[in-house]
Amino acid sequence: MDATPLTTPEEAWRIAKSLNYRHIGGTVVAVVQDVETGEVLMVGHMDPVAVVLTLTTGLAHYYSTSRKRIWLKGETSGHYQIVKEFRTDCDGDAVILKVVQIGAACHTGARSCFSSPASFKIRLNRDA
Amino acid sequence: MDATPLTTPEEAWRIAKSLNYRHIGGTVVAVVQDVETGEVLMVGHMDPVAVVLTLTTGLAHYYSTSRKRIWLKGETSGHYQIVKEFRTDCDGDAVILKVVQIGAACHTGARSCFSSPASFKIRLNRDA
């Protein structure tokens, strides 16, 4: 992988300022994917400071829209996310983090919030 | 794939009511993945009616938080999304749609909003 070193604070701030924080609490939506499998592990929100902290430390930080504060994923659980790729969408209001997930992404202990005991799935077959 | 037929309106409404529409405009976040590759194609928002229309027709519908109306993906472009799987997260405020994408997901003509000319990516290597 043609990895670059972690971004400088100045570069991180330039990137953070280029995004469109139009979502709840002044945030962008962050979709978190396992870097190896592409499985979607969780959806979070990031304000500009969470973007800067993520890009400069390489560890995923989010903005909690309920607790109204920045949090480092894993700060209490130890379930850190090591960010390998940060990608923005066409209108700058959503990002993808491709991560190495330490432990579980979900607070329920499930690897993914979308495979938790509280989640469900339904398969559709329009051609059936 | 152990596909089920499309959901009835009653079942779709039961599912729609179980979600937590805490995001912008009274919506859940919808992450759209290519059903074959797992590539994230776009992020949209769904209100309860968009959820019901998606589950009963098998075609992705969203709620536009800017235009403040429901839209059928592909209604003008022909770039429909045939939904093969609908999955909810642990707290019911985000869903994954696994789709067969007809044409391009992004309005720029790119297959994914995260690989558009306006998006960018940065690789990080914490261990470098």
* pLDDT averages per 10-residue partition of chain B, 128 residues: 73 96 96 98 98 97 95 96 97 97 96 95 80
Kindly state the tokens that stand for A70.
């920045």
Q: Which residues of B touch A33 (CB under 8 A)?
A: 38, 40
**pLDDT tens sequence across A70-122:** 999 999 999 999 999 999 999 999 999 999 999 999 999 999 999 999 999 99
Hey, are the CB atoms on B31 and A42 less than 8 Å from each other?
A: no
Domain ranges across chain B: 9-101
- Mutation target to probe the A interface, by most A beta carbons within 10 A, among B124, B125, B126 is B124
Kindly state the tokens that stand for A35.
């870097």
Q: Is B126 on the interface with A (CB under 8 A)?
A: yes
Give the pLDDT confidence score for residue A127 in this predicted structure: 65
Neighbours of B128 (CB within 10 A): 10
Instruction: Mention every residue, 6+ apart, whose C-beta is less than 8 A from residue B100.
Output: B34, B35, B36, B81, B82, B84
Instruction: Using DSSP, state whether A10 is helix, strand or coil.
Output: helix
Contact of B27 with B65, CB cutoff 8 Å: yes
What is the torsional sign of CA A33, A64, A87, B33?
Answer: positive
CATH superfamily, region A9-101 = Phosphoribosyl-AMP cyclohydrolase (3.10.20.810)
Q: Is A15 on the interface with B (CB under 8 A)?
A: yes
- Name which of A43, A89, A116 is nearest B119 (Cβ-Cβ): A89
- As a whole-number percent, the residues of chain A with pLDDT over 70 amount to 95
Rounded to a whole number of angstroms, the distance from the CA of A21 to the nearest CA of chain B is 12
Pairing of strands A94-101, A28-34: parallel
- Name which of B5, B24, B89 is nearest A43 (Cβ-Cβ): B89
- Name which of B1, B22, B43 is nearest A94 (Cβ-Cβ): B43
Closest CA to B107 of A91, A22, A87, A20: A91
Band the pLDDT of A1: cuts 50, 70, 90: very low
Contact of A57 with A9, CB cutoff 8 Å: no
State mean pLDDT over A15-36: 97
Give kind and range of the element (H or E) at residue B52. helix B48-57
How far is the C-alpha of A23 from the C-alpha of B25, rounded, in Å?
Answer: 10
Hey, are the CB atoms on B119 and A87 less than 8 Å from each other?
A: yes
Q: What are phi and psi of B17, to 5 degrees?
A: -70, -20
- Name which of A7, A57, A86 is nearest B121 (Cβ-Cβ): A86
Give the pLDDT confidence score for residue A125 in this predicted structure: 85
Q: Is A83 on the interface with B (CB under 8 A)?
A: yes
Give the pLDDT confidence score for residue A128 in this predicted structure: 45
Residue of A nearest to B128 (CA): A5
pTM metric for this prediction: 0.94
Rounded to a whole number of angstroms, the distance from the CA of B117 to the nearest CA of chain A is 7
Which parts of A25-117 fold into alpha helices (H)? Answer: 48-57
ipTM value, please give it: 0.93
Cross-strand pairs, B100: B82
